[in-house]
Copies of this chain bind each other. A is one copy, B any other.
Amino acid sequence: MKNLALSQRANRMPASPIRKLIPLANAARKRGVTIYPLNIGQPDIHTPEPVREAIRSFDQKVLAYSPSPGEDYLLEAFAAYYKQNQIPLEPEEIIVTTGGSESIFFAYLAICDPGDEVIVFEPFYTNYNGMAFETNVTLKALTTYAEDGFQLPAMDVIEKAITPKTRGILICNPNNPTGTIYPRQTLEGLGYLVKKHNIFLLADEVYREFTYDGLSHTSIMQIPGLEEHAILLDSVSKRYSACGARIGTICSKNKAVVDACLRFAQARLSSPTVEQWASRAGLMMDPSYFKPILEEYQRRRDAVMTGLAAIPGAVCKTPTGAFYVIVKLPIKDAELFARWLLTDFQADGESVLVAPAAGFYANPGLGKDEIRISYVLEVEKLNRAMKALAAGVKQFQKIEGHPKAENVAVA
């Protein structure tokens, strides 16, 4: 009897580099070790009271399907929110998705058949890869570098990567996992390219509000002339500390794109009903809500950077957006290191859970000495976590037999 085989895409589908170490962290916790979770973009910021109150006050007698493109009231709330952010979108240009994850999925389906290509910039948000495996889309990854602050390659480098199979360019801005914000000029350059080659420009802007040091964010929807090319991917998860709501959007001024996404939305019936009501409450909050939160995140980022500066040989430019840092560590194998931190290490009974960065790269062999840190804990905890990380690096270097780390400055 031949083997009862799974599909190739099931066999090749990677485990999440962000989540796969969680069982080891849980085991360490059972042994009494305090583990600081720096692996996942799950903010500890309280979900705002209006959102929580909306859940508590949900009073429909029947928890019914919502309309496939989303509740009318939510489409209107999103449109109002976008206009408030100088992003001109009408309700009929928006489809509510079950989290930003589904936005990526719909975008791939809408523009790609199996074997088609999308250009991404590595390190990239790992689920761009997972969704590409599921939909048989080929990601063509152009590498960005810690030393350059992970800014995009020059436009001629990007243009050379465009082939007859390329259907779009996908960016995340502000970037997960690098924390980089792309300047307007970069977006205009990409806009020029997608128009010239008649392909799509996809932008994941779920971290729109999370910009520091007085910088602001430019949306691809604000670049003139991209009406047919631009597809915006969005989510309320980070914005309102509501990751468990699973509410996002896919938006475009291209009617054919929205119509295709509506049919994809119909095939999964609807997004969760209670959270649509809750998300509306978030979108209707005054933007002043973000001010103290951004100040808090900026303090956290600074705490992480201070902690990294104390690790001789760590390389990382100060990120200006989102709440992630990709840092190159003076070790050889960050995957082994991350596991070891959970299985064999503790400093004063404490250790950290980090995401090995190799899973954020498509080209094999890259990111092996890098980790992603999410700064989603309060400063005091981050300080302790960074202390544990520094102690871990020092101890691991001895085990790995790594040559004495040079003190490379942390910018």
Contact = CB atoms under 8 A, between A and B. Distances in A.
A408 interface: no
25 contacts: A4-B198, A4-B199, A4-B228, A6-B110, A7-B113, A7-B116, A9-B113, A10-B110, A10-B264, A11-B260, A22-B67, A45-B62, A52-B58, A52-B63, A55-B63, A56-B59, A63-B245, A66-B244, A105-B268, A127-B267, A134-B264, A243-B270, A244-B270, A244-B273, A274-B275
A167 to B, nearest CB: 7
A226 to B, nearest CB: 11
A402 interface: no
Contact of A274 (B109, B112, B167, B244): B244
Contact of A266 (B99, B112, B130): B130
Interface string A66-99: 1110000000000000000000000000000011
Given A55-B274, A56-B58, A269 B243 contact: yes
Interface residues of A, number: 89
Interface stretch (A12-20, A171-179, A317-325): A12-20
Interface stretch (A36-44, A215-223, A341-349): A36-44
A46 B61 contact: yes
Contacts of A4: 198-200, 228-229, 254
A112 B11 CA distance: 11
Ranked nearest first, the 6 interchain pairs of A and B with the lowest CB-CB distance are: A244-B273, A130-B267, A16-B266, A10-B260, A101-B268, A272-B272
